[in-house]
Structure 1
C-alpha cells in the first residue's frame, strides 16, 4: 500500500540538563542503572485499553535493544479489573525495568519488577492515580534519582483528546484512570509537572495530541515531541520495531525518525493514520508567525457587519470545514481540529507564507497516509493541528451543524498557549456571530420540506418592539420560534405553534436586548410541502 513519508532532519544539539534536588534512591534489586538513553513509559492501562497496554509491554520486551547498554526502559504500569485476565489478572500499579524475552509474546510480563515511588516489588495492593500530574512528576523524579543516563525519552501512553471536548465543558488531556474516578492529566497540567526534569523528548502514544497548543505548552519541558494529530489505532506504536531502529543510531534525531518510520510501516493500510516529530525549539517562532496570521484574521472582522447581509463568518466556516485537512470529522457533532499548514495555504492571508515556512522548520519528521479525503483520511496533512471549535446538530437528525461557543477554550485561558494567543479571541468572535441566513426587515418567501427547519438571523441595533408573522400556506402546518443569542431552549424569547393547516403564526416581543436574534421555522405537517411560507419582520426595534 502506498504511503507518504515526509522527513526533514535538522542538525540537533541538546543542552545538558540542569542539576536539581532529587529524592533518595530506593532499595531496588541489583540491575543496570547506566545507559545512553532512559526511556520512561507511563503505561496507563487503568481503563478500557488494558489489553492493549499488556500487548505493548510485550512489544517492549521483544526489543533486542534491551540486550545492550544504549537503552534502559522503565515502565510504570497501572491496570484495572475487567478488560484482561492475562499475567495473573493483577490490577494495581507496578514499576518495572524492561527485560528482553525472545519468546513469542503471550501477554506474560518477564521484566524485572522494582520497588520505588512507594510501590513494593511484590504483592498487588499498591495503586497510584495515573491521572494525577503529581504521579507523572514522581515517576520522572524517581527515574532521575536511580538511573544515570545522558538522554531521557518520556512516553505518555493512553487515551488522548486533543485540547477540548464539549460534553461537560471540561478541558481534557491524557492518562485516564478508571480506578481513580476517571481522573486524567489535563492539557494545562503536564507541562508544569515536567518542567526542569531534564527530559529531552516527549512522546504521546495517544490520539489527537499533535497540536500547536500541546507543543507550545511543552516548549520549556523538552526539546522534541512526537505525537499524532489524528486518532491512533488501539495498537498505537510498535515498540520492538522502533526501539530496534533507534538502537542502530541512538541520537535524538534518529529517535524521531525511527518512531515516524515505524508507525508508517505499521499502519500503512489505515488511511487516517499520521505521526509527526516536532523540534520544540522552533515553536516560539511558529507561534509568532501564527499570531501574525490571526491578526490578519481579526482585521478582516471589520467587514463582517455589512449592508448586503453577507454572512462572511458562515462562508469562512464552510470553506474551512470543506477544504482544509481536518483531524476530527464533525458529521455527528463534536470538536474539529484543522491542519495548521493547510489552513494557512487554503485560507491565504498576507502572513500565510511565513507561517508555512515556520511550520516546515518545526516539523522534523512527518508521515501521513495519502489515502482517503480530508474528512476520512489525511492526504494533505502536514503534521500539526489546531483547535477550530465544537459543532453540534440543531434538531438532529433533521438539522444542520452549528459552531458552538466553547467556553472552556475561549474563556478559560487554560495553558500557556491560550493565555498568550489571540486565537481564542478570534474564535470567540466567530462563535458569537451566528451562522445562518442573515435577513433584515421585510418579507422572505421559501418552501420547506416536511419535518425540517429553516433558520434565519437578524441583527437588532436598538431596542423596541419586534414583530414576526408567518403566513402559512393552506396545505401546511408550520410553527415559528424566536431566540436571542443562540439556538438553545433557554434562549427562546417567543414561540407560536397554532394547530391547523393554513393557520398563520405571530410573535410580538419587546426587544429589550440588542444583538443577534435567531428565527426558527418548522414545517410540522403538510400535504403539499412545495408551497412557500412568507416570513414578515417589522417593528420599532432597530433592525440592521
Structure 2
C-alpha cells in the first residue's frame, strides 16, 4: 500500500554531486540533501539544480531515486498516531514533543503515521488525511517540520490492512536491531482500541492481533515492544492476544494523558544501544517523572515471554475457587472480596493482583490459598515494571481482568463469554477457564454483596457477638489521628481470628495484620497492635468453630515509658508463629524513652524460643534504625552517643518475627543512676522529720 522508500547514504549523494561537477565543472550546485520529497508511491526523491553561472536560464534537473540504507539503526519507533477523532489536538501536541526531542538521528528512527480530521484542531497546516513522517528536529512550534515520506490521503486507521502496511513499510525502509510499535488513540480495554471517526470504525483486539501477525509473517523482522498509548489497555485479555507478537507489552490500567515523548526520546538518545527490557524501564521512569503530580496515572510493562505460561496457573486457581464456592457457604464473603477490589473502566475490569490479595485475605482455605499465592507469584514475575500514582494507595498493580460487579444487564457478560461483538475472536476465553468462572459467578448472583460492615467507634465494646463456622463479621472504624491502636477480641466460646485492613472508598488497600491464635489452646483473647495513620479501617472477625462468641473493642494504646538502666520484660506471639502454627499474631510492643547525654546502649534480648525485631523512631515517626535477629535467643544491641545535654525522645517498636515467648528491652547509660526502690540517703534525711511526726502520733494514740 505504502511502497518502498529507498534512502541513500550521504556517500552516494557525494558521488552523484561529483559526477555532476565533472559534467559541468563551472556550474554551481544547489540541492537540499536533508529534506527529501516523495512521490505518491512513497519513493523518496531529491531535486538537484545545476545552474550555468553564465546563463541562469540553463537549468539541469536530475531526480535521483536513492538506494536503501542497508545498515540497521539501533531502534525504530513506529507510532500509529490516530488523530481522526476528538483528541486530534492531543495527537498534534505529542507529534510536537517528538520533534522537540530532535527526531531521528544516526542511531534511531522515529516514523509516524498521522491521520487527521476536520473540525477539531486547525493548527499545523490544518490538513486532512493520512501521512507518514520521518520525525526531524523542531523548527517552529506551529508547523510540522518533519520529513514527509508518504501522503496517503484518507485511510481507515481501524482497518487491519492499514496497520499491517504501516509496519511492513517501517520494516522495509527503516531497518533496525529493535522495534517498538506504539498504538495511539482511545482505548476500551479488551473491547478494543483505535476509533476512526471519518470511517466510523473501531479496532477490536482480535483484528489488532491479526494485523500485526500478518506484518510479521511477511518479514524476517520482529517487534520487541508493543505499546498502547491509550486508556485501560493493560488487561490480561489484551496481553494474551499479543503473547506471540512481542517480548514486552506496555500500557495503563487507567486513563492515560499521553506519553511524555520528548523525555522518552531524549533518554533513548543518551543510550541508543539500550536493551529492550531497559527501554521498557526507561519509558515507565519517564512516565512517572512526568506525571508524578498528576492524580490517578499509572503505567506498567508485561513480560510476554513469561505471561505466555499463565493458562495452567490461572486455570488451577479458577478450579480451586469454584470448588471453594461450591463446597462452602461463602458466597457473601466472595462477593465482598469483589466489591472491595479496585476496578477500572466503568467497573468492568478489576485490578488482578488486588483481587487475588483479597481472596487470600478473606477466604482462608488451604488449597485455594496455595493456588492464589502461586498465581500471585507468577504475576509478580510477569508484571516486570509498574508505576502507580500514590493516589491509588497500592491498588493499581499493573494488570486488569474482566469482572463486572453489580451489573444491571447481561449484555456485557454475554458478549464477553460468547466472544461476540467487540469481544469477537478473542483467545483468552478459549485458552483459560475464566469464561467458565464468570458463568458461575453470574448464574449464582455473586455480582452483588449482602455484607454491610458494622460501624465501630473507638472504645465502643461490641458485646455478646456470635457467628457460625466459616462465617465472617466485618466492622468499620474511622481513626481520627495517628497513634498506637489495639484491637482486642475476647472469646467466650469457639475460635475466631481477626484481621485489620486499610480501607477507603476505593476498597481495601492493604492487610495491616491480625491475630490468628488457636483458641482456647493459645489464649482466649485475640489481640493485635499497630501504629496507624488517620483513616478508615476494616476489622474482619472469622469463625473457625461451629459457633463462636466474642466481645470486640478497639482502643488507643499508650506506649510504655521506659526508664534508663531499668530493663523491661514482656511476652507475645509473632508474625510467623511457632513451628506448630500456634501463637501467630501481629502484636507490636511500643516504648517511649528519653535518652540522656552520653553513650546509650539499646539492647533487645530474645528468649530461646523467640526472634523479635527492633525499630527505632524519632518523635516525628521517622525510622532511625531497624534490626532483626538472625535466629532464636539472640541479643540485638547498638550504641547511640547522644552529644546534647538535653535528652532526646525515642520510640521503640518491638515486633515478634517468629516463635513465641519473652523478650527484654533495656537502654543503659553508665552516667545515669539505676532506679531503685525506697529512698536515697538525701531523700531519707529530707523526709525524716515527717516520719518522726507520724511515728509520735501513732505512739500517742496507742498509749491512749
Greater gyration radius: 2
**Given that residues 4 and 43 in structure 2 are in contact (C-alpha distance below 8 angstroms), is that contact kept between their aligned partners in structure 1?**
no
Shift of 1:392: 4.1
The answer as to 2:161 corresponding to 1:134 is: yes
Alignment of 1:429-508 (within 5 A): 429-434=440-445
Match of 1:285 in 2: 309
Secondary structure, aligned partner of 1:270: coil
The answer as to 2:44 corresponding to 1:28 is: yes
Out of 134, 145, 149, the position equivalent to 1:110 is 145
* 1:391-439 per-position Cα deviation (integer Å, ceiling 9, x unaligned): 445xxxxxxxx88761111122731111111001110111122359999
User: How many equivalent pairs are there?
Assistant: 371
Alignment of 1:2-41 (within 5 A): 25=5, 26-29=42-45, 34-41=72-79
Shift of 1:378: 5.2
Q: 1:40 to 1:298 in 2, by over 3 A?
A: same
Q: Give me the whole-angstrom Cα distance separating, in 1, the residues matched to 2:87 and 2:437.
A: 37
Per the normalisation by structure 1, the TM-score is 0.64
- Unmatched 5+ residue regions in structure 1? 1-21, 121-125, 164-171, 305-309, 329-333, 372-376, 394-401, 440-544
Match of 2:425 in 1: 414
Q: 1:102 to 1:317 in 2, by over 3 A?
A: farther
Q: 1:127 to 1:296 in 2, by over 3 A?
A: same
* 1:196-248 per-position Cα deviation (integer Å, ceiling 9, x unaligned): 35211100000001111111110101111111011112xx1010101111222
Match of 1:368 in 2: 388
Match of 1:325 in 2: 342
* 1:300-345 per-position Cα deviation (integer Å, ceiling 9, x unaligned): 24237xxxxx6x44542332121x23233xxxxx442112122222
* 1:125-167 per-position Cα deviation (integer Å, ceiling 9, x unaligned): x10000111111110011112222111100000000102xxxx
Out of 204, 216, 219, the position equivalent to 2:240 is 216
Out of 327, 340, 352, the position equivalent to 2:352 is 340
Q: Give me the whole-angstrom Cα distance separating, in 2, the residues matched to 1:438 and 1:390.
A: 9
Q: Give me the whole-angstrom Cα distance separating, in 2, the residues matched to 1:86 and 1:433.
A: 55
The answer as to 2:266 corresponding to 1:244 is: yes
Secondary structure, aligned partner of 1:282: helix
Identify the range of structure 1 (142-151 vs 200-209) with the bigger mean alpha-carbon deviation: 142-151
**Given that residues 406 and 447 in structure 2 are in contact (C-alpha distance below 8 angstroms), is that contact kept between their aligned partners in structure 1?**
no
Secondary structure, aligned partner of 1:82: coil
* 1:493-536 per-position Cα deviation (integer Å, ceiling 9, x unaligned): xxxxxxxxxxxxxxxxxxxxxxxxxxxxxxxxxxxxxxxxxxxx
Secondary structure, aligned partner of 1:68: coil
Shift of 1:47: 0.4
Out of 186, 210, 232, the position equivalent to 1:192 is 210
Match of 2:292 in 1: 268
**Given that residues 405 and 428 in structure 1 are in contact (C-alpha distance below 8 angstroms), is that contact kept between their aligned partners in structure 2?**
no
Q: 1:390 to 1:70 in 2, by over 3 A?
A: farther
**More strand by percentage:** 2
Alignment of 1:60-209 (within 5 A): 60-64=98-102, 66=103, 68-101=105-138, 105-106=141-142, 108-115=143-150, 119-120=151-152, 126-163=153-190, 172-181=191-200, 183-195=201-213, 196=216, 198-209=222-233
* 1:451-476 per-position Cα deviation (integer Å, ceiling 9, x unaligned): xxxxxxxxxxxxxxxxxxxxxxxxxx
CA RMSD, Structure 1 to Structure 2 (Å): 2.5
* 1:241-281 per-position Cα deviation (integer Å, ceiling 9, x unaligned): 01111222232122111110111111112331110112110
Q: Give me the whole-angstrom Cα distance separating, in 2, the residues matched to 1:84 and 1:437.
A: 44
* 1:281-315 per-position Cα deviation (integer Å, ceiling 9, x unaligned): 001223322221111112224237xxxxx6x4454
**Given that residues 99 and 135 in structure 2 are in contact (C-alpha distance below 8 angstroms), is that contact kept between their aligned partners in structure 1?**
yes
Larger RCO (CA within 8 A; separation ≥ 6): 1
Per the normalisation by structure 2, the TM-score is 0.50
Secondary structure, aligned partner of 2:228: strand
Alignment of 1:327-406 (within 5 A): 327-328=344-345, 334-348=346-360, 349=368, 350-371=370-391, 377=392, 379-389=394-404, 391-392=406-407, 406=413
Q: Give me the whole-angstrom Cα distance separating, in 2, the residues matched to 1:97 and 1:67.
A: 7
Shift of 1:180: 0.2
